[in-house]
Structure formats: C-alpha cells, structure tokens
Amino acid sequence: MLSRTAEGLFWIARNLERAETYARLLQVGYRMSMTPSPAGGYESEWSSVLAATGNADEFSRHYDEVNERNVENFLSFDARNPSSIKNCIASARNNARANRVAVTTEVWEALNHAYLEFRELEKDRNALKKIPDLVDWVKRQSATIRGSFLNTQLLIDSSDFFNLGYYLERADNTARLLDVKYFVLLPTIHMVGGSVDSYQWMTLLRAVSAVRAFHWTYGGDHSPERIAHFLILNPACPRSLFHCCDRMEYHFSRLAKLYGTSNPAHYLLAERLERFYEADIRDIIKQGLHEFLSKFIADMGKLNNQIAESYLFER
Amino acid sequence: MLLSIDHQTSYRYEHPQRRIVQSFRMTPAECESQQVMGWSVEVEGACFGASFTDGGGDLVQTMTLSGPASTIDVKITGTVRTFDTAGVLKGHQELNDPGLYLRETSLTRVDDAIRELAAETACEGALDTAHAFTNLVAERIVYSPGSTAHGHTAIDTLQAGQGVCQDQSHLLIALARSAGIPARYVTGYLLTDAEGKYHEASHAWTELFVDGLGWVGLDPTNRCCPDERYVRLGSGLDAQEAAPIRGVSFGHGTEIMDVAVTVMQMAQQ
Amino acid sequence: MKKEPFSEMYVNGKVRKAYAVLSEWYNTCDPDELTQKQKEAETLFRRIGITFAVYGQGQDAERLIPFDMMPRVFLESEWRLLERGVKQRARALNTFLWDVYNRREILRAGIIPKHLVLQNEAYEPAVVGIEPARNVYSHIVGVDIVRTGLKDFYVLEDNCRTPSGVSYMLENREIMMRMWPDLFKQTRIQPVEDYARLLRHTLESVAPAKCEGEPTLAVLTPGAFNSAYYEHSFLADQMSVELVEGQDLFVDGDFVYMRTTRGPRRVDVIYRRIDDAFLDPLCFKPESMLGVPGLMNVYRSGGVQICSAPGAGVADDKAIYTYVPEMIRFYLGEEPILKNVDTWRCSESDDLAYVLEHLPELVVKEVHGSGGYGMLVGPASTKKQIADYAERIKQNPGNYIAQPTLALSTSPTFVEQQLAPRHVDLRPYCLVGDKIELCPGGLTRVALTEGSLVVNSSQGGGVKDTWVLAD
C-alpha cells in the first residue's frame, strides 16, 4: 500500500486515542479538584494535568493562569494546541478524507459525524458546561469509530498500521498518566500510602475506566505497587504498557509475514517487549518509576520515528 | 583555440536534506564552432539518469541524491576545441522551430517602452536590426555586477538602466521578439582576457534567428559576436528555461550556493 | 429563423423507434409511482452523491448535480455514425499532436498558421521531439457533441487533456439499473460498465518500452481538495490501481517510484488528473510543490508514460478547433463525419465586425473559458446585456470567439410530475491506445430550465443516463 495511506491510518488512530486521553485527563483534573490537595502540594491538580500532556510550554505561551477554565479550553477547544481534542478530531477526519478509499464508509461516516458534531458542540459551549459531558461524548465517539473500524475494515496491512498507531499512542499516554501521578502529585515520599494518595490512585484508575477491572484482579489492595503493576505489566489490562507493546508486536509480525521481511522498527519493539518479560514491578519502583517511564516515553518516540523511516512515511 | 574548463558548483545546506533532485543542462553540444574533446559532470554519491536531448539540441541529465546530505559538489571538467564562425551557429542539431522563440515569457515580457524602442531602432534587414539592438542594449544598460536580483525582467532592466549579462540578454531578447525576430537565451563559458574587464568566465548571451543565416550569437555585454573564446553550453526561452542547473531539495533550512569557474587556454597540439 | 428544435423522442408527432419502448413503458406507469421513484432515485443518488458532496468545500459541500431519470436514447445505427465520427476525430487530433511536436508538416503545408500553434500557451516546448508509446498523446478524448437534426451532429469542442465526468456516466447507469430493473430486462441496452477495464487496458497498452512485465499504473490527483477528487478515487478504485499525489512519487535515476510500505515501487504509466504546469517544478512552475521533481526528464527519456501527454492541450484549444476538419482531410484523407460549428474569431477584424453586428443571434465564448461562465447567448439576452458584452469584446477581441446559436435537440425530461422537452448535449469518452475504443454511452447533460441552452452543471444543468440500444 502507499506509504502516505499507511501514515494516514496510523495517525487517524493516534489522534483518536490522544483525543480520548485528553478527555480522560480532564476527568482526572476535574475529580481531583473536588478533593483536598495533598498537604505541602506545590502544584494544583490542573498543573499536573497539563504536565501529563507534555504541552505545558505551549499552554504558558497563551495563558497567564493555570485554572480549570483555561486548561479545559486549552485541551478541548483551543486550535492553537496541536493536540487539543478539536485538532485531534479534525486531523483524524482530514486524514480519513485524504485516504477515503482506504477506510470503509462506516468508519468515514463515524469520523465525519464526530467532526461535524464537535463543531456544533463548539458553537454552543454552554451546553457543555460540565466536563463530564464532554468526556462522555469523546469516549462515546472514540468507541464508535474504533468499533466501526474493527467491524468493517479488511484485516490487511491497512488495519495493522491503524492498530500500530492506536497502541503506540495508548502506551505513550498510559505512561504519561502514570508519570504525572507518581512524579507530580507526590511532593514527598511520606505521602505515599496516605489516604489522599490512595484516593488519587483511584482517580487514576477511574480515568482509565479500570476501577472494577482492578478490583477484580487485585481485590481491595490499592497499593501503588499493585496499581503500577496493573498499568505497566499486567497483560490483562487493555491499557497496560505490556499489553500495548504485545499488540504492536502482533501487528509488526503480521506485516513481516505479509511483506516477507522484518525491519528496524519491528526489532526495536521486539527488544522493548523482551524487557517487559523479565521485568519485576518492585525493581522498577526501586530503580525509580519516573526514570523508567521517561525512558519508556522516549522509546515510544524512537519507535514512532523508526516506523516512519521503515515504511517510507518521510517524503 | 583549445580551452579547458573547470566549473565547480557547491551547495551547502543549513540542515541535512533527505533527497535532492537536479536537472542538468551542462554538456556542450557539438557544432562547427566547437568540438568537445572531453567532458565530465560528476557529483559524489549521486545517481545520474533520465538523460535525453531536448528540442533545442541540448543534453539534459537528471541527478538524484538520497540523503541525508549537507553538501553537494557538482564538478565539471572538460576540454573544447573552438573555432570562430563569426557568431553564426552552424551544424547544430535541433528540432525546435525558430518560430517557437517568439513566445513571451515572464522574464522577457514586452511593454510599451520596449515596443517603441524596438520600433525606433529596427533597421531594414534582420541582421542589421540584430546588431542595432545589441548596440542599443550595450549603450543603455550599464554592466554592473551585483546590481540586480533574481527574477529581474527585461522591463525592470530597461527602467534600471543597469544589470548583468543575464539582464542585458533578456532585454535584447524582448526587443528582438517584439520586432518579430526569434531570440533565445544562451549559457556558456568565456575565456577571460588579461584585463578581465566586463568578462565573466560563466557567461550568458543571446542568439537571434536571421533568415538565410540561421541562429546568430550576439553578446550585448561585450558588444560582439561569440568567437573562439566562447563555449556554448545550452539555450532556452529565457534564463530560467536555459538554466544549467534546476533543482529541488527535500528538507528544511536554507541553502548557500558557491560557484567557481575557470576557463584557460591550452597549448595547441 | 425560428424553427422547432429537433426532438429526440418525436418526429411529426410520432414516437421515434429509439424511444418506442421507453414511451410504451412510460404510458403504463402510474404518475404517482413515477414521482415516488424519482424521489427514490434522488435519495439513492444522494447516498452515492454524498461522497461527491463531502469532498466539496464550503457552500458547495451539499450541491449535487441534479439527476433526471428519463434516459437519452440512441439507436445502434445512430450510435455507429457518432462512433465513427468521434474515433475519426480522436485519430486526427492525435496525429496532429504527434506532428506539431515532431515534423510540423501541417504548419509547413500552411494549413494552420504557425503562430497559432508555436505561440499557443498550450503548446509545450518541453515535449518537442518526444515520441510516446504508439505515438499517442491524448489517451482519453472527450468530444462535446450537440444534435440539431436526425443526422446532424456538431462538435462544440474537443477535450484532449483530462476530460472529466465519466464517473457520472457510470454512476447514472448504476442508479438506473437499480431503479428500473424490469425496464432493463425488456430493453437491450448496451452496457457501459466495461469502461474502467477498457481504460486500464488502454493505459497498459501505452507502457513505455523500458517497462518489463506487467506495467504498474497509478492515477495522479492534486488531492482531496480538488473538486473532481471523487472521480479520481472512483476511477482508481474501479481500475484497482493506486491513487497517488505528487508527494507519493519520486524520481531516482531513470525511473519514477511510489513510496509504499513495502519499499519503492516503480510506476510505468501515470494517468494524471493534474494540469501540465503542476507536473514537475524542475520543468514548469518552480514554486509548485504539487508535482514530482524530475518527472518530465524521466518521461522524456522514456522511463514513464504520462497520460495524457503534457502539451496535449494544444489540440483542444479553441483557436485550433476551427482547423480540425482540415486536419482530418490532411492526415486521414477523409471527409469529417461530424461537423464543426461555424466559428468567428474576433481576433480577425472581418470576423469581429460581423460578430458585433450579429450579437443578438450568436453565442460568444471566451477563448480560454470553460464551464459556461462568461459566455453570451445572444437570443436569450437583453439589449443591455448585449451592449455590455459588445464593450467587453471591443476591449480585448482576441479573447473571444462566436458561433451561431444552434437549436440543440430536446429530450423528454421529468419535470414537475410530467415529461417536458429540455435541451441536451452529449460527451462520449474515446479511449486511444493500441486500439481506439468508444464506450457505448456517455454523459448527457440537460438544461433543466425551459428553453435554456446552457447545460453546464454550474449553470443549472443536470445529467441523464445515455442509452445505446442493441439492434
């Protein structure tokens, strides 16, 4: 298939997943703003949210104050933020339009519908005063589009590129969510294990819609170690780093079989996955969760570039 | 005369470029005024292909280079035996109809001032007119290196009253076409004399089509017809179309180009 | 002068043979059912058409070309005449193109004035001397034809570059077959669905000599923002070839490649739907980033075929149009089968004087205009409009040509729950490769406003299915 088409599909998935993550981040901020800040906390919950997006610099170029209103606007409706929900949806839709023959009518209609409806939402922002409504809307659209894709798209290389984008973005986002929690929210080590801390860990789980799944897996033990294990190493968690990498491996292997050859992007991922098999959550925490996550996020960046190079995305 | 030519063009890029594609019109064709004894065009690391002879009889080659590349050096070396044909282009193989060279291009557009000047200056015969136009351009346009910018048109040149060989040629072309004489832009090399005055080793001049004679070379910069000091490289409707190198690079940042040309007379053998 | 236009359906009050079945069928139809079906057809068309619409921008996004469900019908015998005429023209135009880019015999013979060709903007110096595969320059020729009598067909203009609209021919038929399956069972209508296969075959047959094995084809589009993007993707899809943009292609050495996820893949034949000027920044507009740097050099050195050839437009130029009958005689030694419309060139003073004197009865067009914009239809214009237009002509006579107002034939059209005569034209698509093929059908455009002679979709025109009956 044309590299431009593969790239288009890859980015449709990345943008959709990113939009969903932003919605979930807004939800985290919104819930945390309703609970007391940890004693000695030096940042507001909205700063944490902003930090998680990796776009705090861009924010400070356009806004004076970090508060709910500004962050909400920046993450959802602001055209100046390249990753705002608005831009993610528009970019996914335009990519689909430019590669119209590569997506089914169902996928196209779902995407186009989301795009048009978002424009309506934007016109009438008062109807969306509450963040939860926006969050629900985004999650619903994302589920519809992904569902249409899974149900109607042929299982050929185009679906592999779509899924690579999807899992790469998701792995990156989970890592960022976790990093914010562990690094930004916790001012001192004493806070670990306190009641506020525990509440915030639950908020994080809630943000990834995994509270029940977590309880089902680990019972009532909310220890940070368990939660970190759940989101990093548990293959059953659909957002865990391990699961996302495992799925990428699956799609890389399918491509390798189809094309009769592997490439550096595949090797890079395989090597990353290998390290998960040997990993122990206690070692990770002992050696520093933040360091681990930063390294992982950097690896995902490298993987993205290597995919672009290996499949000739670059002009 | 036996002339040796050494022409180096180097491009330096602010950031490495992913791909570079260039079209070269840099190989002289044989004709009565020149016999090519040896010629080579080299670019390290590049792939040459897609070559053909265009309608004007010039060899065109395509150079592609896969990056990342921060520099390219185009090296041309050659030896040409030249003969004086009193400026007349003889024995040059080409397919284009001279009538084609009456077309206007954006660089050679004609306005009322040029049209009037052409009408005033035109003589009885095409050859006399050609010489009259050449003298007119030489008188009206002071040769002043560095005085003009890229994209300067014939109209701009007449207004400015100064320019380089490219500008003088464009104005001569515009005047000729306005008088119904086919005219074209010619690139090439020139043996620099001791004084070096007005001369540039990498040069451009003009050819006008005179019925009965064919294409006649005229150099408004030096107010003469090309003789054995000249090597003709290629031609086109204007400087852009005749350009020895046209290129595109894929990547960010600016590019800096450097050109060094030497033309030397070799001992006759 | 006032004469009833030729009716495609009735002669002296009797139904013509071509329309016999349709007429009989129509009489047995319940008008309510017809109205119902018309609505269904619209919905169906809208559903496919919605894809036309989403690619449009801004205001045009929802504008679809109205579809009329009463087909325009030809008998096979009538079609054979048209077919011979169109093929003859396509042959002559391609020979002309080969000639003006090589030996220029027609100019030497003084049949066409030199300057009309050599100084024509559409004449491309970069193509001089090239001999493309099978010496074909224009691989898809769309000829716009109007009918004024039983055997009188006139060519309004030729389209040698990249004629559009063929997707309508195919989609219109698709919808008609879904709407009226019984009608198709009763009538023997020649199918048009072969078009994509024929197009593919035509493109394959002109692969360059350097191509080994089965040629790789691609459709080159300016991108999703182009108004005809739907047609580009439709044709690529129907031919099962890649739809590429300039950025997907690159030149390396002697060939052009497309970037695919399996690595570079050589492209042998490009069916381009972008204008000459945007093909290659190294040859044409240096600032254009739509094209492929080096593409023209590869083309000139025989590494790729571009369909239609750059510079093919000189054959369909309005100034050259008047010489097509002469071309047919000169190159083919035949008499033209299809007639040219008399044309006055305002650039010539005698013609200009005539035109200015007879404006109320003429149609005046801009030389480089298209889409029915900027034209004057004398008989349908007010005195003031005519006077204003006369001023425009005087300002720049070279920009205008004039033709007599032709009484375009009418075809029954379903308007406000009943049939009414409306003026139509026809654009068949002729494919030129190893063979010359004409798909039995075409795009019939209809002026939906009563009495209007302007069929362009931008000016209130619609489209119809075009039937060629099998004997």
Nearest CB among B53, B99, B248 relative to C282 is that of: B248
Q: Do B99 and C102 touch (CB under 8 A)?
A: no
Nearest CB among C114, C125, C301 relative to B55 is that of: C125
Q: Is the pLDDT of residue B199 over 60?
A: no
d(CA C124, CA B47) in angstroms, rounded, equals: 28
Q: Given CB atoms, is A315 within the 8 Å cutoff of chain B?
A: yes
d(CA A31, CA A207) in angstroms, rounded, equals: 9
d(CA C380, CA C405) in angstroms, rounded, equals: 10
Range A118-129 average pLDDT:
74
Q: Is A267 contained in some domain?
A: yes
d(CA C105, CA C368) in angstroms, rounded, equals: 26
Q: Given CB atoms, is C311 within the 8 Å cutoff of chain B?
A: no
Contacts of B102 in chain C (CB under 8 A): 115, 118-119
Share of chain C above pLDDT 70, in %: 94
Contact residues for C443 (Cβ-Cβ < 8 A; gap 6+): C165, C166, C168, C169, C172, C426, C427, C429, C463, C466
Range C281-307 average pLDDT:
91
Q: Given CB atoms, is B18 within the 8 Å cutoff of chain A?
A: yes
Q: Is the pLDDT of residue A185 over 60?
A: no
d(CA B243, CA C340) in angstroms, rounded, equals: 43
**Among the ranges given (A311-315, B53-57, C208-212, C308-312), the one the predictor scored with the smallest mean pLDDT:** A311-315
Contacts of C293 in chain B (CB under 8 A): 21, 247-248
Are B263 and B4 a contacting pair, CB within 8 Å? yes
Banded model confidence at residue C416, pLDDT cuts 50, 70, 90: confident
Q: Quick one: pLDDT at residue C27?
A: 87
Domain boundaries defined on chain C: 209-303, 343-405
**Among the ranges given (A25-34, A231-240, B13-22, C339-348), the one the predictor scored with the smallest mean pLDDT:** A25-34
- At residue B80's C-alpha, the angle toward residues B75 and B82, to 5°, is 145
Range C361-373 average pLDDT:
77
Three-state SS at A290 = helix
Structural tokens at position C464? 């119809």
Banded model confidence at residue C59, pLDDT cuts 50, 70, 90: very low
Q: Do C126 and B246 touch (CB under 8 A)?
A: no
pLDDT digits (tens, 9 = 90+) for A194-234: 566 667 777 778 777 888 888 888 877 777 788 889 999 99
Q: Do C115 and B102 touch (CB under 8 A)?
A: yes
Q: Is A315 contained in some domain?
A: no
User: Checking DSSP bridges between strand C400-404 and strand C14-15, what pairing results, if any?
Assistant: unpaired
d(CA B145, CA A150) in angstroms, rounded, equals: 67
pLDDT digits (tens, 9 = 90+) for C237-279: 889 999 999 999 999 999 999 999 999 999 999 999 999 999 9
d(CA A181, CA B195) in angstroms, rounded, equals: 78
Structural tokens at position C216? 């790789």
Are C295 and C303 a contacting pair, CB within 8 Å? no
Contacts of A255 in chain C (CB under 8 A): 261
Contacts of B21 in chain C (CB under 8 A): 250-251, 282, 293-294
Q: Do B248 and C298 touch (CB under 8 A)?
A: no
Q: At what angle do helices A3-32 and A131-152 cross, to 10 degrees?
A: 150
What total number of domains does chain A contain? 1
- Report which secondary-structure segment, H or E, holds C219: strand C217-220
Q: Do B100 and C125 touch (CB under 8 A)?
A: yes
User: What is the least distance, in Å, from the CA of B21 to any CA of chain A?
Assistant: 13
Are B229 and B178 a contacting pair, CB within 8 Å? no
Q: Quick one: pLDDT at residue B252?
A: 84
Touching chains, C (3+ CB pairs < 8 A): A, B
Name the CA dihedral angle for C42, C47, C51, C53, rounded to a multiple of 10 degrees: 40
Please give the distance of CA C270 from its chain centroid, rounded to a whole number: 19
Nearest CB among C224, C243, C262 relative to A97 is that of: C224
Count CB atoms within 10 A of the CB of residue A275.
11
Q: Given CB atoms, is B83 within the 8 Å cutoff of chain A?
A: no
Are A85 and A22 a contacting pair, CB within 8 Å? yes
Contacts of A311 in chain C (CB under 8 A): 261
Q: Quick one: pLDDT at residue B198?
A: 44
Count CB atoms within 10 A of the CB of residue A33.
15
Q: Given CB atoms, is C266 within the 8 Å cutoff of chain B?
A: no
The contact set of B with C (CB < 8 A) is 19, 21-23, 47-55, 60-62, 64, 66, 95-97, 99-100, 102-103, 237, 240-241, 246-248
Nearest CB among C51, C237, C242 relative to A2 is that of: C242
Q: Quick one: pLDDT at residue C394?
A: 92
Q: Do C128 and B47 touch (CB under 8 A)?
A: no
Q: Which residue has the tokens 């619903």?
A: A140
Q: Which residue has the tokens 């009408």?
A: B119
User: What is the greatest pairwise CA distance in chain A?
Assistant: 58
Nearest CB among B19, B96, B248 relative to C125 is that of: B96
Chosen from C117, C247, C267, C282 to mutate, greatest number of chain B CBs within 10 A: C282
Q: Quick one: pLDDT at residue C1?
A: 41
When mean pLDDT is compared over A211-220, A246-255, A283-292, the highest value belongs to A246-255
pLDDT digits (tens, 9 = 90+) for B207-222: 999 999 999 999 999 9
* Alpha-helical segments (H) within C101-180: 105-108, 114-118, 166-179
ipTM at complex level: 0.93
Three-state SS at B253 = coil
Look at residues B186, B228, B181 and name the one whose alpha carbon lies nearest to residue B207.
B186
pLDDT digits (tens, 9 = 90+) for A294-309: 899 999 999 999 999 9
Three-state SS at B11 = strand
Output C410 or B249, whichever has higher pLDDT: C410
Contact residues for C223 (Cβ-Cβ < 8 A; gap 6+): A98, C229, C245, C290
- Report which secondary-structure segment, H or E, holds B249: strand B245-250
Q: Is the pLDDT of residue C60 over 50?
A: no
Q: Is the pLDDT of residue C90 over 50?
A: yes
Contact residues for C147 (Cβ-Cβ < 8 A; gap 6+): C6, C8, C153, C154, C408, C409, C426
Q: What is the mean pLDDT of chain C?
A: 89
Q: Quick one: pLDDT at residue C253?
A: 92
Banded model confidence at residue C58, pLDDT cuts 50, 70, 90: very low
Q: What is the mean pLDDT of chain B?
A: 92
The span from the first CA to the last CA of chain C, in angstroms, equals: 36
Contacts of C287 in chain B (CB under 8 A): none
Touching chains, B (3+ CB pairs < 8 A): A, C
Range C302-324 average pLDDT:
94
Nearest CA in chain B to A315: B250
Q: Is the pLDDT of residue C61 over 50?
A: no
d(CA A89, CA A309) in angstroms, rounded, equals: 25
Contacts of C290 in chain A (CB under 8 A): none
d(CA B87, CA B207) in angstroms, rounded, equals: 9
d(CA A46, CA A136) in angstroms, rounded, equals: 19
User: Checking DSSP bridges between strand B183-190 and strand B202-210, what pairing results, if any?
Assistant: antiparallel
Q: Do C107 and B66 touch (CB under 8 A)?
A: no
Q: Quick one: pLDDT at residue C224?
A: 82
Q: Is the pLDDT of residue A42 over 50?
A: no
Nearest CA in chain B to C104: B97
Structural tokens at position B18? 């992913």
Q: Quick one: pLDDT at residue C229?
A: 85
Share of chain A above pLDDT 90, in %: 47
Q: Quick one: pLDDT at residue A195?
A: 60
Q: Quick one: pLDDT at residue A48?
A: 77
Structural tokens at position C173? 């038929």
Q: Do B66 and C252 touch (CB under 8 A)?
A: yes
Range C353-375 average pLDDT:
83
Q: Is A184 contained in some domain?
A: yes
Nearest CA in chain B to A314: B18
Q: Is the pLDDT of residue A191 over 60?
A: no
Domain C209-303, classified CATH 3.40.50.11290, yes or no:
yes
Contact residues for A129 (Cβ-Cβ < 8 A; gap 6+): none
d(CA B73, CA B70) in angstroms, rounded, equals: 10
Q: Given CB atoms, is B66 within the 8 Å cutoff of chain A?
A: no
Range A178-205 average pLDDT:
63
d(CA A114, CA A131) in angstroms, rounded, equals: 18
Range C359-379 average pLDDT:
81
User: Checking DSSP bridges between strand B183-190 and strand B230-236, what pairing results, if any?
Assistant: antiparallel
User: What is the least distance, in Å, from the CA of B257 to any CA of chain A?
Assistant: 23
Contacts of C302 in chain B (CB under 8 A): 52
Q: Which residue has the tokens 């489209």?
A: C463
Enumerate long-range contacts of A29-33, CB under 8 Å, 24 or more apart. Answer: A29/A68, A29/A71, A29/A131, A30/A68, A30/A131, A30/A132, A30/A135, A31/A203, A31/A206, A32/A200, A32/A203, A33/A68
Q: Is the pLDDT of residue A121 over 50?
A: yes
On the question of a cis peptide bond just before residue B68, with omega within 30 degrees of 0, the verdict is yes
Banded model confidence at residue C54, pLDDT cuts 50, 70, 90: very low
Q: Quick one: pLDDT at residue C198?
A: 96
Contacts of C270 in chain A (CB under 8 A): none
- At residue B96's C-alpha, the angle toward residues B93 and B101, to 5°, is 125
Residue by residue, DSSP assigns C37-105 as: HHHHHHHHHHHHHHHHHHHS-GGGGG----EEEEEEEE-HHHHHHHHHHHHHHHHHHHHHHHHHTTT-H
Show the domains of chain B with their CATH numbers: 2-81+244-266 (2.60.40.2250), 84-242 (3.10.620.30)
pLDDT digits (tens, 9 = 90+) for A56-102: 889 999 999 888 888 889 999 999 999 999 999 999 999 998 888 88
User: What is the least distance, in Å, from the CA of B67 to any CA of chain C?
Assistant: 12
Q: Quick one: pLDDT at residue A44?
A: 67
Q: Is the pLDDT of residue C106 over 80?
A: yes
Output B79 or A24, whichever has higher pLDDT: B79
Find the domain containing A174 and state its range.
3-310
Q: Given CB atoms, is C433 within the 8 Å cutoff of chain B?
A: no
Q: Quick one: pLDDT at residue C45?
A: 67
d(CA C79, CA B95) in angstroms, rounded, equals: 41
Banded model confidence at residue C33, pLDDT cuts 50, 70, 90: confident
Residue by residue, DSSP assigns B258-269 as: EEEEEEEEEPP-
Q: What is the mean pLDDT of chain A?
A: 85
Q: Would you tell me which CATH number, out of the four given (3.40.50.720, 3.90.1300.10, 3.30.1490.270, 1.20.1330.10), belongs to the domain C343-405?
A: 3.30.1490.270
Q: Do B64 and C251 touch (CB under 8 A)?
A: yes
User: What is the least distance, in Å, from the CA of A302 to any CA of chain C?
Assistant: 18
User: What is the least distance, in Å, from the CA of A315 to any CA of chain B?
Assistant: 7
Range C139-155 average pLDDT:
94
